[in-house]
Amino acid sequence: MHTYTKIDPLLWTGRKSGQQLYLHEKVICIDLNSEQIPSINGQSWAILGYACDEGVKRNEGRIGAALGPYAIRKQLAKLPNHLTENALLLDTGTVDCNDGDLKKTQTALSRTVTQLLNQNTFPILLGGGHDMAYGHYNGIKNYLAMKGKNKSIGIINFDAHFDLRTNQTNNNSGTPFYQIAQDCKLEQSNFRYMCLGIREDANNSTLYDTAKDLGVAYVEKANFNLLYFDEIKEKIAQFAKKVDYIYTTIDLDGFSSAYAPGVSAASPMGFSPEIVLECLKIIMASKKMISLDIAEMNPTYDIDQQTAKLAASLVHFVIHHSQ
């Protein structure tokens, strides 16, 4: 079965201005199998879909995340374009999981992320289950290895869950960071992982113990709001100092269902968009963020495209504030 599909340009539609006032007029759709990313002097962002909810299914979550990348694109297309003329916004297609082979899909994703980084563009991945994180991380790691760079990668995860479940039974959307930690152990490298928004009612005691054993830094949801922003800012800054690159991942189920009902594991007890935007500013200001993904978008349970609009606005924020 195919694991890569070029995006249909017709998906990118919206109000027509004839002046590139909207992102659907700015975006360029690229087939990575046959086309090269154009070389430019300005910045370049590459959107890549991860149409897979096999990991969510294995983790006993609500099915539907495979449709997430398309739902986010539809909302992103309508948003205004404030990018500079020489900036590139690309849609580089979707990695699919049509046969339930999660390992193959993660490998294809890893290979594609490496390809994008090699072509001097900033990957923005849209999911899809959070199992995306394992393939995404390995794509970054392989890129740095190919460049001969012995550099450290720190992971900052906006999430209600640690996603540190053991993968003894199978790999799923709850195991990606445990898998990365085990790989780091085998490679005798440091596992650098920070979680922002962790909820006590979303993680059992074993997961807290695992986080402690692995030296995971985290901020619980009770303290993850603008009232505690000075402390959060300092924790992010200290984390960033210890790594060469930052891979940022946003799990939409970390947000309150008031903002994000369309996710695999919704809860009203999550965090708000404002604190995430302020934290993203700090991460981007470090000049170390190498890649980004947004996980667990599930259009089946969305209300008035609310969650897709939130995800699209997060992407819009990142591409316009990292210029």
The binding site comprises: 130, 159, 161, 163, 251, 253
64, 298 contact by CB (below 8 A):
yes
Maximum CA extent, the chain: 56
- Report CA-CA distances (Å) from 77 to 13, 27, 294: 6, 8, 16
Detail the residues annotated as belonging to a binding site for Mn(2+): 130, 159, 161, 163, 251, 253
The count of residues in the chain is: 323
Q: Distance from CA of residue 55 to its chain's centroid?
A: 15
Cα 77–Cα 322–Cα 131 angle in degrees, nearest 5: 65
- Report CA-CA distances (Å) from 117 to 44, 111, 130, 143: 10, 10, 21, 7
Nearest to 249 by CA among 201, 305, 289: 289
